[in-house]
Copies of this chain bind each other. A is one copy, B any other.
Amino acid sequence: MTSQTTTPTEAAAPARRAAPDDSQLGAWRAFLQTHARLLHRLDEELQAAHGLSLAEYDALLQLAAAPDRRLRMSVLADRVLLSRSGITRLVDRLVADGMVQRYPCSSDARGSMAVITAQGVNRLRTASRTHLDGVRRFFLDVVSADEQDVIEQALQRVSDGLVGRLGEDGACPSMADA
| Chain A residues engaging chain B, CB cutoff 8 angstroms | 1-5, 7, 14, 16-17, 19-20, 24-31, 33-38, 40-41, 44, 81, 128-129, 132-133, 135-136, 138-159, 161-163, 169, 171-172
A-B interface, 3 closest residue pairs, ranked by CB to CB distance from nearest: A27-B148, A2-B145, A34-B155
Q: Nearest-CB distance from A25 to chain B (Å)?
A: 7
Interface SS majority for chain A: helix
CB-contact partner of A171 in B44, B132, B172, under 8 A = B44
This protein's copies in its complex: 2
Q: Nearest-CB distance from A173 to chain B (Å)?
A: 12
Instruction: Please judge, given known A-B contacts A2-B146, A28-B139, whether A34 and B133 are in contact too, CB under 8 Å.
Output: no
Check if A132 sits within 8 Å of B19, measured CB to CB.
Answer: yes
State A35–B17 Cα separation when bound (angstroms): 24
Q: Nearest-CB distance from A120 to chain B (Å)?
A: 19
Q: Nearest-CB distance from A146 to chain B (Å)?
A: 7
State A153–B24 Cα separation when bound (angstroms): 13
Instruction: Please judge, given known A-B contacts A154-B144, A159-B37, A163-B37, whether A133 and B16 are in contact too, CB under 8 Å.
Output: yes
